[in-house]
């Protein structure tokens, strides 16, 4: 892929967040149980919640996710936090509470973040002193 757009960056970040959710929980090494696995009868299972099925992501999806994790290194911390919260599917209300910004300002930070990532991936040079609006317009025109 040579031409990254903010929409493609957004999709890739959402995919990376989805892959992160599907990865198995880390286990502590060295701890194990000598007790046998419990076998439940039907009466025991009546009130229980079913265990969620976990489908592991493919190795290709994990590789893309690992590549995507490095993309936010070029962003300011607040922009990176907003970009990842939005990728994880958080609502704007929770994002605004977490970063302490109004919705319009948080949305502009998010657009700026994915625009900077798109410009960086396309290896396009831009002045870091440009306004956020100008960087967003530059990435949209790319």
The answer to the question of residue 135 being in a domain is yes
Number of structural domains, the chain?
Answer: 1
Whether residue 27 is predicted with pLDDT greater than 80 in this model: the reply is no
The answer to the question of residue 74 being in a domain is yes
Q: Residue 127 belongs to what domain range?
A: 6-22+56-140
Mean pLDDT, the chain, integer: 89
The answer to the question of residue 42 being in a domain is no
The answer to the question of residue 18 being in a domain is yes
**pLDDT at residue number 51:** 77
Q: How confident is the model at residue 9 (pLDDT cuts 50, 70, 90)?
A: very high
The answer to the question of residue 47 being in a domain is no
Q: What is the pLDDT of residues 51-83, one digit of tens each?
A: 777 788 999 999 999 999 999 998 999 999 999
The answer to the question of residue 95 being in a domain is yes
**pLDDT at residue number 14:** 96
The answer to the question of residue 80 being in a domain is yes
**pLDDT at residue number 1:** 53
Q: What is the pLDDT of residues 89-125, one digit of tens each?
A: 999 999 999 999 999 999 999 999 999 999 999 988 8
The answer to the question of residue 43 being in a domain is no
- % of the chain residues with pLDDT over 70: 98
What would the mean pLDDT of 23-39 be, rounded to a whole number? 81
Whether residue 5 is predicted with pLDDT greater than 60 in this model: the reply is yes
> What DSSP assignment string belongs to the chain?
-----HHHHHHHHHHHHHHHHHSPPP--TT----SPPP---HHHHTTSPPPPP-PPPPHHHHHHHHHHHTGGGGS-HHHHHHHHHHHTT--HHHHHHHHT--HHHHHHHHHHHHHHHHHHHTT----TTS-HHHHHHHHHT-
Whether residue 142 is predicted with pLDDT greater than 60 in this model: the reply is no
**pLDDT at residue number 2:** 65
């Amino acid at each position: 892929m040579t031409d990254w757009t903010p929409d493609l960056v957004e999709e890739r970040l959402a995919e990376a967040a989805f892959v992160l959710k599907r990865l198995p929980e880390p286990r502590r090494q060295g701890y194990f149980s000598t007790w046998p696995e419990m076998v439940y009868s039907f009466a025991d299972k009546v009130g229980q919640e079913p265990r969620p099925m976990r489908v592991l992501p493919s190795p290709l999806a994990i590789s893309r996710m690992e590549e995507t994790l490095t993309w936010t290194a070029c962003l300011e911390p607040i922009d990176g936090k907003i970009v990842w919260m939005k990728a994880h599917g958080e609502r704007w209300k929770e994002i605004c509470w977490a970063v302490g910004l109004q919705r319009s300002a948080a949305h502009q930070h998010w657009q700026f973040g994915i625009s900077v990532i798109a410009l960086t991936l396309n290896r396009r040079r831009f002045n870091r002193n440009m306004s956020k609006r100008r960087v967003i317009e530059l990435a949209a025109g790319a």
